[in-house]
Structure 1
Amino acid sequence: MAQFLFRLGRFSFRNGWKVLTAWIILLAGVAFAALTLAKPFTSEFAISGTPSIEAITNLDEKFPGAGDSVNAAGVNVVFHAPEGETLDEPQNAAAIDDVVAYIRDNMAGEITGTERFGNPLQVSPALQDMVFEQETSMGLPEETARADAENLAMVSEDRTIAYTTFTIDVESAQAVTQEHRDTINEALDLGRSEGLQVEAGGAGFGDPIVVEGTSEIVGLVVAFFVLIVTFGSAVAAIMPVVTAVVGVGIGVLLLVMSTHWVELNNITPVLAVMIGLAVGIDYSLFILSRYRSELQRMSREEAAGMAVGTAGSSVVFAGATVFVALVALSVVNIEFLTWMGLSAAVTVAIAVVVALTMTPALLGVFKGRAFGGKIPGAAGNPWRRGGESRGLGNTMGSRWIKLVHKAPGLVMAVVVLSLGLMTLPVLDMEMSLPSDSTSNKDTTQRKSADLMAEGFGEGVNSPFLVIVDADEVNPDAPALQPLINAQSSMAGQAPDLQAIAQTSSFLYTVNNLQTVNGVKHAQLIAQSEDGTAAQILVTPYTGPEKQVTVEVANALRTETREIQDSTGVDIGLTGLTAVQMDITERLGGAMGPYLAIVVGLAIVLLLLVFRSIMVPLVAGLGFLLSVGAAFGLTVLVWQQGLWGLVNTPAPLISFMPIFLIGVTFGLAMDYQIFLGTRMREHYTKHHGRSVLGEGYNAIEESVIVGFTQGARVVTAAAIIMIAVFVAFIDQPLPFIQIFGFALGVGIFFDAFFIRMALVPAMMFLMGRATWWMPRWLDRVLPNIDIEGTALEEEFEKRQLVDA
């Protein structure tokens, strides 16, 4: 592969303008196709195959159209009386009327589900009386009917909090327009101007997903300055930025074009840009740095070919590890996460190809000016014209690696203990999907959820819907006999035993669910027209963000399985809370297999690259330490609110951990490959012999020389990548902020604690075992020559011939 890449790099250098023109034409063509074929991105997260989604399908079969209610654009408007007053007071009741009237008048024909819409001071008692009369007429005990009526109350016991609810008539909650939000906000302001606290929430009133364009600009600016410090040249600093922008541009435009055939979430391109920019700059940086070092001994054209053949080989394998990690997200089997991974993987693949061809092409265009525009004092440049360069002699990298060599055991202990301690908060990690209860405390959505919890209990924000299908109910089930006998005696002569058994199964289910620990109330809210199915509303004591609610959901499912076994009915648990919990559980369950796939495949790749048993194992174990510490710090800051650094601590978004594992692992292996190949290259070039005569054995010398050669550029690459990720903390959406933070600290820990400290320390300690591999395995594995050994031999032969 190195020889092929050598020829590719030399070709691109010779034909610089042609290669650049080809990329520009391709970029323009993809842009034209994207503009022609693109359809709007969606803000929906596609999910299928979970128990709660299957229950929704069953709900739709038994109650046509009811399945849409789970994804409906419901809106809750919550009222809170001023301090020392109640909502019953005339001025407060009038203010509520004004808010309701404004929504009704300005959204006429655009709202449905108005059964509970209106002034709750009138709607609530009327609704409760109706429920009480209906249930008592059905023969239910008055105590049960009264409890069911109270559970549907829309005014708190102290009369200070009330709410009304309606549904915006759109396809889904994600289809709500800004005009709808503006109308509701105007209604809220009207009530506030009259002295009430009025807030709104619900699936139909979430903040639109807005992505600011400043993060990419900040990341590119920081990258440019880091590149200037690295190369001391304005021209050289521009090249990796240009290649990264072209690569990301093509990748994102391909995503936009693909919306013609595939429905993509509008967060998908954000993650592709975040990762594509980071790797695009880094990959070009590695090739450019190798080119500069090769110029000291060969012509520009030969140096470009050698840089692509050696550093480019590392880029290919580094990109492959990132690609594998992102594509493997499909094992979770959640559509939106699969498309996020595939989209980012495509962008990374394009970034690799652009770096391998466009970087040498730019070098061919600039030729002797490639490192022009020198910045005084940067990268060893003299401070004044005519001054002497400071050179790179005894660099900080060489001083650091020699310090590690003096006390490798101490370095290993410090790294393992420090990162291990930072991993401990992971034990308390909680995961959920975004909801009103986890929104920023300053938002009206969070305030509405908090008011609802204060007035009606936390569980009002996390109801479960249980669907009972009694088509196959067993009339002879012993568990149902008491209820069947009671109803048969009330039915008179010739009762319909099957219908009575079905109704009995509904009542039996309600009674049993009511006894589940953590359930505040369970009640029958609807029966299908043919009487074969029922909906049961289950209200827990706790809110959607609490781990206890997850335990309640699991307990409900356990109970429903027992009910099914004893009665023959089929039961499903659904509702927004259940859907979110199923996603969270699936993600949690997939984390182990995903980690095994990613780490396993990466270790195989590293075996091919380094032809060593221990180096890949140390690299993989080091990654687990760094990603664990990144998780721990993310939990401390974003979930537990360390030092008040974030406004609203909350459970981490469910798909953050698995995405963080994939991306961080892929990127971490980049640095392992770039540093490790430099070390391996020195070791193989000198056939495992020490040549510097400084008292180091061959293993130690290879680690020190390779680290010294690669540390500067890897440091720059890590800082660039961290800057790109951290810039996304400025985004308005919390889960993008958390992604940026977690990826940034993950790369920081891995680059500086693992690749630049733990791994070289372990290599010093392992000694000869570092580059050991069984002979039989060495014969089996293909020789990919990532270090460019064959290229070096050819170059040396040419030198001898020329001499």
Structure 2
Amino acid sequence: MAEFLFRLGKWSFLNKWKVIAAWLVIFAGMTVAALTLMKPFTSEFEISGTPAIEAVEKLDEEFPGAGQSVNAATVNVVFQAPEGETLDEPQNSAAMDETLAYIEDNLDDRQGTERFGNPLKVSEELQRTVFDLETEMGLPEPTARADAENLAMVSDDRTIAYTTFTFDAESAQAVTEDQRQVVRDAIEVGEDAGVRVEAGGPGFGEAIVINTTSEIIGLAVAFIVLIITFGSLISAIKPVVTAVVGVGIGVLTILTSTHWLTLNDITPVLAVMIGLAVGIDYSLFILSRYRAEYQRLGGPDAAGLAAGTAGSSVVFAGMTVFVALAALVIANIEFLTWMGLSAALTVAIAVVIGLTLTPALLGLTRSKAFGGKIPGLAGNPGWGKKEEPPRSSWRSLEGETLGTKWVKLIQRVPGLVIAVVVLGLGAMSLPVSQLEMALPSDATSGKETTQRQSAELMAEGFGEGVNAPFLMIVDADNVNPDAAPLVPIKNAIQDAGEDVNEREAAGLASYLYTVSQANSLVDVKHAQLVTVNDDNSSAQVLVTPETGPADQRTAETASALRSIGTEIQDATGVSIGLTGLTAVQMDITERLGEAMPLYLSVVVGLAIILLLLVFRSIMVPVVASLGFLLSVGASFGLTILVWQEGLWGLVDTPAPLISFMPIFLIGVTFGLAMDYQIFLGTRMREHYVKTGGSNELYNKYNGVEESVVVGFSRGVRVVTAAAVIMIAVFVAFINQPLPFIQIFGFALGLSVFFDAFFIRMGLVPAAMFILGRATWWMPKWMDKILPNIDIEGTKLEERFEGVDRTKDNKESLDA
């Protein structure tokens, strides 16, 4: 592979205009395709085959059209009276009328208006209707009264009320900005009239707004780091250009694919985050190697050698990230699969761009590739000082750098370094046991948003559970009329003189029995029968929990309801399903949790195989993988403390982490961690292989120790720069308005920080010093069966060892 990449890099350097033109044509073509074919993204998190989705399908079968209500574009408009007043007072009631009149006048195509209107009037009428209907059905008055009160739209103290309607849209994700704006304007009308008005619900969720300053900040920091690394303005531009082109093509491809695929609107955001980070880093690694070779070999051969050596590492590093992201397919969750594949595609594009466009840009600038030098940086002489020629031999080091001093310090106290890293990161991993997961909802929106405030007002006036209702679907087609739990209820129905046959009476009895069993649960505030279909064969039971959608007790309540449903099915023959938006989201969270162990096993296993091929060692992949677990555990722990538990009040919206963040974070972090392992490790192995395991530079170190010191010294500067750039790109996304995007930026930045600076630059070299020759040990039988990839490009470098073409290439470099 090194030979192929050498030819590709050299060809790209010499055929710069062809390469640049080709990428520009591809960029332009993808732009046209995206503008022509793209369709809107969705904010929906849904998967097929879960119990809640199956219950929705059953609901639609028994109550045609009702299944759409689970994802309907419903809006809750919530009112609160001024302090010391109630909503019954004339001026406050009039303010609510004005607010709702504005919605009526500007949204002619509203749906689901049964509960729309001044809640002081609508609530009273609704409660009276429910009470009369249930008493006519023969239900006890206390039961009918409790059911009516549970549907109240005005709080007991008359200070909070709400009304609801549905936008005329196919789903909550199809609501237009114009429709949302009507609600925003109505809020202003009500507040100008003197009452507090907030709005929420699935149809009025926060739109995904991308703050472009995140990318700008990330690129700006990257540019500064690159200037410090290379001491050159021109060289600092190249990785930024290649990253922007790569991410641009990747995002345009994602936009184009929406013509055939339904993609979540977070998909391009994550692709941009990861694409920018790896795109800059991969170009940086190739550019750094080119810098070390071009003075000696001249432009074309230096570009080829950089592509054949550092480029080989880029390919395998990119492969580990690609595998980690593409393996999200294992979770069998549609939206997560496409997120992973989209990000993986962006990474693949970044690799190809790094291997071709970077050498082409070097060919474009030729002898000016590192022009615009800044005195005093990256080895440049200070003002008025003469530049010394660089040392390029693998048998020498360029002075006692900070990286050299650090790795020598580790060599003196490797056990202490391991203890500090393991104990420190291990302690930070402890909060992982407190992990709570949920999908975005009004209750997890930013505290300043009207969605979050509407949910809090609803919870204050009607209890937390009003934001997390469940719907039980009871199918009585196969009910057993002689089932012991149903006989007393069935007999009571028939004795009451109801004109029903035994099977119909048994069906009604099963509905009432289901209600009573659901009400027996401690965390169920109220369960009630809300509707029966035309042939009395199925019913809907509304269950209101005591807790909200982000509370772990709500998930436990859902589990308990399903357990009770199973018991009722076994005892009576009916079938029961649990659904509703809350149940659908909880099923997704549960599926993600179940997929985590398998995903982690596959990703780690595949990465270990790749590292075995790269390093031809047993211990290096093992240490690398164990180190990853420590770094990802610590980043999870701190993320939970800050974003879930609200440590020190650093965030104003502590809430459970978004459900797919852990599995996605593991994939991305693992891929990036292996990047740094490959770039540092190959430098160490390169020296070890070349010296045959002997000590050529330092008499006080053995061969293994010297290879670690030399390899670390040569690779640490560029890896440090790459890590800082990646951290800057990720952390810049904390500037985004949506909390879950902020959390992704925070967690990914933290993961890279821990893995690069604690694991790859601390634990791994310390472990190699302790292991000694066992570091590079591999059983002979395994060594024979594994293909020899030569990722370091050892054979390629042998062709140029001792070659110095500075004079021969001077004219061509200046051409």
TM-score > 0.5, shorter chain as reference: yes
Gaps of 5+ in 1: none
Say if 1:75 and 1:204, in contact at 8 Å, map to a contact too.
Answer: yes
Would you say the 8 A contact 2:296–2:803 is kept in 1?
no
Change (3 A) 1:84 1:40: closer
Q: CA deviation at 1:37?
A: 2.4
- Matched-pair contact (CA < 8 Å) for 2:518–2:561: yes
**Contact 1:380–1:390 (8 Å) recurs in 2:** no
1:450 and 2:479 correspond: no
Q: Which amino acid aligns with 2:370?
A: F
- Within a 5 Å distance, the mapping from 1:108-507 to structure 2 comes to 108=108, 110-388=109-387, 392-491=398-497, 496-507=501-512
- SS state of the match for residue 365, structure 2? helix
Among 664, 673, 687, the alignment partner of 1:668 is: 673
The 5 A counterparts of 1:541-690 are 541-690=546-695
- Paired with 1:524 and 1:389, the residues of 2 have a C-alpha distance of 86
- Residue matched to 1:71: 71
Letter in 2 for 1:578: A
Separation in structure 1 between the aligned mates of residue 373 and residue 586 of structure 2, nearest angstrom? 56
1:479 aligned counterpart, secondary structure? coil
2:58 equivalent to 1:58: yes
TM-superposed deviation, 1:240: 0.9
Q: 1:33–1:176: structure 2 CA closer, same or farther, 3 Å change rule?
A: closer
Distance in 2, matches of 1:100 and 1:357, equals 60
Alpha-carbon contact 2:611-2:621 (below 8 Å) kept: yes
- Helix, strand or coil for the counterpart of 1:525? strand
Provide the rounded CA distance (Å) in 2 between the counterparts of 1:181 and 1:26. 37
Note the C-alpha offset of 1:336.
1.2
> Which secondary structure state, in structure 2, belongs to the residue aligned with residue 661 of structure 1?
helix
Report the Cα distance in structure 1 between the residues aligned to 2:214 and 2:649, rounded to whole angstroms. Answer: 23
TM-aligned CA distance change 1:788 to 1:492, over 3 Å: closer
Q: Which amino acid counterpart does residue 424 of structure 1 have in structure 2?
A: L
Aligned partner letter, 2:478:
E
CA distance in structure 1 between the aligned counterparts of 2:181 and 2:13, rounded to whole angstroms? 56
Kept in 2, the 8 Å contact 1:77–1:200? The answer is yes
Verify the 8 A CA contact 2:472 2:578 in the aligned structure 1. yes
Q: Which residue of 1 aligns with 2:770?
A: 765
Aligned-partner SS, 1:478: coil
Check 1:47–1:783 CA distance in 2 against 1; reply closer, same or farther (3 A cut): same
CA–CA distance in 2 between the matches of 1:43 and 1:546?
22
**1:422-451 residue CA offsets vs partner (Å, 9 max, x unmatched):** 111111121111111111111111111111
How far apart in 2 are the matches of 1:444 and 1:670? 42
Amino acid at match of 1:166: F
Residues 1:681 and 1:454: Cα distance change in structure 2 (over 3 Å): same
SS at match of 2:486: helix
Contact 2:41/2:263 (8 A) holds in 1: yes
Shift of residue 798, structure 1, vs aligned partner: 7.7
Q: For each residue in 1:504-540, what CA deviation from the matched residue of structure 2 results, as whole angstroms up to 9, or x when unmatched?
A: 1111111111112211110000101111100000011
Structure-2 change in CA distance of 1:37 and 1:205 (3 Å): closer
Matched residue type, 1:692: L
Displacement, 1:379?
A: 0.5
Alpha-carbon distance, 1:40 to partner: 2.9
Name the counterpart of 1:716. Answer: 721
Q: Distance in 1 between matches of 2:55 and 2:83?
A: 44
Per-residue CA deviation, residues 170-216 of structure 1 (Å, 9 max, x unaligned), is: 11111222222222222222221222111111111112111121111
- Give, as a single letter, the amino acid of the residue that structure 2 aligns with 1:320: M
Superposition deviation, residue 296 in structure 1 = 4.8
Sort the Cα spacing of 1:531 and 1:367 in 2 relative to 1 into closer, same or farther, 3 A.
same
Report the residue type matching 2:139 in the other structure: L
Following the alignment from structure 1 to structure 2, what is the Cα–Cα distance between the partners of residues 444 and 492?
Answer: 48
1:7 and 1:525 map into 2 onto residues whose CA distance is 72
DSSP-derived class of the 1:572 partner: strand
Matched AA of 1:56:
V
Match of 1:111, SS state, is coil
SS in 2 for 1:215: helix
Change (3 A) 1:296 1:690: farther
Aligned equivalents of 1:637 and 1:148: distance in 2? 41
Question: Post-superposition shift, 1:605?
Answer: 0.4
Instruction: Give a deviation string over 1:536-588, Cα, whole Å, max 9, x none.
Output: 00011111111111111111111101111111111110111111111111111
Equivalent residue letter for 1:437: A
Q: Give the structure 2 partner of residue 102 of structure 1.
A: 102
Give the Cα–Cα distance (whole angstroms) in 2 for the partners of residues 583 and 492 of structure 1.
43
Partner amino acid, structure 2, of 1:452? M
Aligned residue for 2:124, secondary structure, equals helix
Shift of 1:458: 0.7
> Deviation of residue 390 (structure 1)?
11
Task: State yes or no: 1:17 paired with 2:17.
Answer: yes
The answer to whether the Cα contact below 8 Å between 2:135 and 2:141 also exists between their aligned partners in 1 is yes
Which structure 2 residue ranges, 5 or more long, are not aligned?
391-397, 808-815
Bigger shift: residues 292-301 or 768-777? 292-301
Q: Contact 2:73/2:202 (CA < 8 Å) preserved in 1?
A: yes
Cα distance in 2 for residues equivalent to 1:512 and 1:681: 69
Please give the alpha-carbon distance, in whole angstroms, between the structure 2 residues aligned to 1:39 and 1:454: 39
Partner of 1:780: 785
> C-alpha displacement at 1:476, in angstroms?
2.2
Give a deviation string over 1:626-646, Cα, whole Å, max 9, x none. 001111111111111122211
For residues 116-171 of structure 1, the C-alpha deviation after alignment (integer angstroms, 9 at most, x for no partner) is: 11111111121111111111111111111111111111111111111111111111
Task: Look up the equivalent residue of 1:63 and give its one-letter code.
Answer: F
Structure 1 counterpart of 2:221, which letter?
Answer: V
* 8 Å Cα contact 2:705/2:772 also seen in 1: yes
Distance, in Å, in 2 between the alignment partners of 1:492 and 1:606 is: 75
Q: Would you say the 8 A contact 1:228–1:234 is kept in 2?
A: yes
**Structure 1 residue 388, shift from structure 2 partner:** 4.6
Distance 1:38 1:150 in 2: 48
1:29 Cα shift? 2.1
Whether 1:756 aligns to 2:761 is yes
Cα pair 2:296 2:804 within 8 Å, conserved: no
CA distance in 2, matches of 1:407, 1:551: 49
> 1:383: how far off?
2.2
CA offset at residue 411 of structure 1? 0.6
Q: Deviations over 1:372-410 (max 9, x none)?
A: 110111101122144456985111100100011110000
Q: Residue 310 of structure 1 contacts residue 786 of structure 1 at CA under 8 Å; is this kept in 2? A: yes
Aligned length: 800
Partner of 1:90: 90
**8 Å Cα contact 2:698/2:706 also seen in 1:** no
- C-alpha change, 1:418 and 1:732, in structure 2 (3 Å) is same
CA contact (8 A) 1:380 1:389 kept: no
Alpha-carbon contact 2:297-2:803 (below 8 Å) kept: no
SS at match of 1:164: strand
C-alpha distance in 2, partners of 1:33/1:104?
40
Measured after TM superposition, the shift of residue 38 of structure 1 is 2.3
Distance 1:390 1:144, change over 3 A: farther
- CA deviations on 1:327-351 (whole Å, 9 max, x unpaired) are 0111111111111110110110011
CA contact (8 A) 2:297 2:804 kept: no
Change in 2 beyond 3 A, CA 1:492/1:440: closer
